Amino acid sequence: MIDLEGKVTIVTGGTRGIGIEIVKTFCENNAKVILFGSRKETVKKALDKLKEEGFEVKGYYPNLNDFEEVNNVMKEIHDEFGHIDILINNAGISANKKIEDTESSDFIKIMNLNVNAIFNTSKAVVPFMKEQKGGVILNTSSMVSIYGQPSGVGYPASKFAVNGLTKSLARELAPANIRVNAVAPGITKTDMVASLPEEMIKPLIATIPLGRIGEPKDIANAFLFLASPMASYITGVVLQVDGAARN
């Protein structure tokens, strides 16, 4: 176990999939976790589920594209706890339409949540982290940020941007003892992937040298490591967690 006792951790996109697994993993390692979700109903549902499983978590649902709204929530959290130690930017949406079927509004929506939201949340917490002389910002990237994908250009474009943001902020914030890294998951057994028929899953597994699809816990553990003191000299890294899958 990695002891994150007293570390106030914010997880965006924390109501399902990889996000809720990150929430659980950080709770199991004694962090004080606050999750962000997109809607009041989804946040309540996640909090109720977590409570049933023995996890005490707070939740908010700010519009991540509205800096003032995000900033106000961050201030509220800081006022309550006195510090914000770890920010995990996990909220995001994917895309798979070919470019001729993609509306400009679709592309903008992806960039807003996958990139602009990270800018807003990071901008809001950096002053607190500078004041307390340290912190950790972690972003969810993707294997497609390395290789691209055959359709849905907005998603890999946004994740390429996440990598650039991660590496640049790492250099900018290092003098303030704020580390910035990203995790790039490969194919992971979220609800969506788990519901796929076996004839679709088998060819996917065949591309992965480790011979299996990743579990949400595999990804959450990577975030845990990067947030912990064991990674105290690691910043500006995009950590691939994909079983050595390569295109």
Mean pLDDT of the residues in the chain: 96
**pLDDT digit string (tens) for 4-39?**
999 999 999 999 999 999 999 999 999 999 999 999
Active site residue 147: no
DSSP 8-state code for residue 56: -
**pLDDT digit string (tens) for 135-172?**
999 999 999 999 899 999 999 999 999 999 999 999 99
Instruction: Kindly indicate the confidence band of residue 199, based on its pLDDT and cuts at 50, 70 and 90.
Output: confident
Task: List b or e across 180-219, with b for residues whose CB sees 16 or more CB atoms inside 10 angstroms.
Answer: bbbbbbbbbbbeeeeeeeeeeeeeeeeebeeeebbebbbb
pLDDT at 193 over 80: no
| Residue 148 resides in a domain | yes
Please identify which residue in the block is written with the tokens 């594209």: 65
**pLDDT (average), residues 127-140:** 98
Cα–chain-centroid distance for residue 147? Answer: 19
| Residue 199 resides in a domain | no
Q: Which two tokens stand for residue 29?
A: 């390692």
Residue 247 has a pLDDT of 58
| Residue 195 resides in a domain | no
Radius of gyration (C-alpha) of the chain in whole angstroms = 17
Residue 201 has a pLDDT of 84
Contacts of 175 (CB under 8 A, 6+ apart): none
Q: How many other C-beta atoms are found inside a 10 Å radius of the C-beta of residue 101?
A: 10
Residue 111 has a pLDDT of 98
How many structural domains is the chain composed of?
1
Residue type, 19: G
Q: How many other C-beta atoms are found inside a 10 Å radius of the C-beta of residue 79?
A: 8
**pLDDT (average), residues 228-238:** 98
Among 56-70, 85-99, 182-196, 232-246, whose mean pLDDT is lowest?
A: 182-196
Percent over 90 (pLDDT), the chain: 90
- The boundaries of the domain holding residue 237 are 8-188+214-241
| Residue 200 resides in a domain | no
| Residue 129 resides in a domain | yes
d(CA 54, CA 52) in angstroms, rounded, equals 5
C-alpha distances (whole Å) from 91 to each of 11, 12, 47, 73, 226 are 8, 5, 17, 16, 18
CATH number of domain containing 55: 3.40.50.720
Give the active site residue among 60, 147, 155, 233.
155
Query: What pTM, to 2 d.p., does this model score?
Result: 0.96
| Residue 247 resides in a domain | no
